[in-house]
Amino acid sequence: MVSPADVKALQRATWAAGHWDAVAELVLEVGAVIVERTGVGSGMDVLDVGTGSGNAAIPAARAGARVTGSDLTPELFGDARARAATAGVEVEWVEADAEDLPFADGSFDRVLSTFGHMFAPRHAVAGAEMVRVCRPGGAIGTCTWTPEGFVGGMFKIMGSFLPPPPDFAQPPILWGTEDHVRECFAGLDCEFERRTVRWTFASPEEMADFYEANFGPTVMAKALLEPQGRWGELRERFLEHVREASAEQGRAVIDGEYLVTVARKPG
């Protein structure tokens, strides 16, 4: 029987595959969005859950906060440290499971995550942990892909080719729906906003090549499906998805929709 530990071991291997730092370039602006929306300021203690290359951690440090960046995949911290050094900021990097954060209750004024915590398999557990480490009167800010958006469609396509997850592992894309977020942050007042981030590639094929080489889940899917002779079919489905979503014919001009959540913890 597959356990949560088994799922997390696979997730760590998945996000260590490819070149996440290249993918992070596509969502750099989102970290600044959640830092601004949650009012991160000088002297605050801030945690970035699933930080990757410092997605929200580095913008928070630029705002003058004392920042901890946590991630299940410490292999990503080398790029994170390099980005922080380039930005001239200090961040503490901590290997951590979003479902079992190694911090005391009420440790942080702001708890942030941009496309990180959403991949923890048990959403209510991860949500409760984020609430637990947030101080009374503090706020939790997240950015998550929506089911209706481009990435939601991409995940649906990929999932149709891959083995189903165990029953306890909820789809990450559920974090892009308001009702689900309210359930996971039970008892908190939540504010929502839908935004988009734009990606531009010279062609759908160039975008497919980029994801195939750099995005961990795609790298792992290719490794599984290519020996079965099914990778070409998945790639073609992805190309069709890009062509349908592109704002310009011939190129790949994609608006990725995401949900911004600000959940405030009572003081």
Q: What is the DSSP letter of 43?
A: T
Residue 31: which residues within 8 A CB-CB, separation 6 or more?
54, 55, 56, 57, 58, 59, 60, 114
Distance CA 54, CA 165 (A): 28
Q: Which domain holds residue 211?
A: 4-264
Handedness of CA 74, 80, 85, 87 (dihedral sign): negative
- Looking at residue 187, what is its pLDDT? 86
Task: Give the total number of structural domains in the chain.
Answer: 1
Q: Give the distance, in angstroms, between the CA of residue 3 and the centroid of all CA atoms in the same chain.
A: 22
Coil, helix or strand at residue 140? strand
Mark the ranges of the chain whose per-residue pLDDT is less than 50.
none
Pairing of strands 252-264, 134-145: antiparallel
Give the C-alpha separation, 72 to 120, whole Å: 9
Within the chain, residue ranges assigned H as helices are 4-16, 20-24, 28-37, 57-62, 77-87, 123-133, 150-159, 178-184, 204-214, 216-225, 231-245
Looking at this protein, which amino acid is placed at residue 238? F
Distance CA 89, CA 247 (A): 37
CATH at 197: 3.40.50.150
**Token representation of residue 130:** 């984020």
Distance of CA 247 to the CA centre of its chain: 24
Per-residue confidence (pLDDT) for residue 214, from 0 to 100: 98
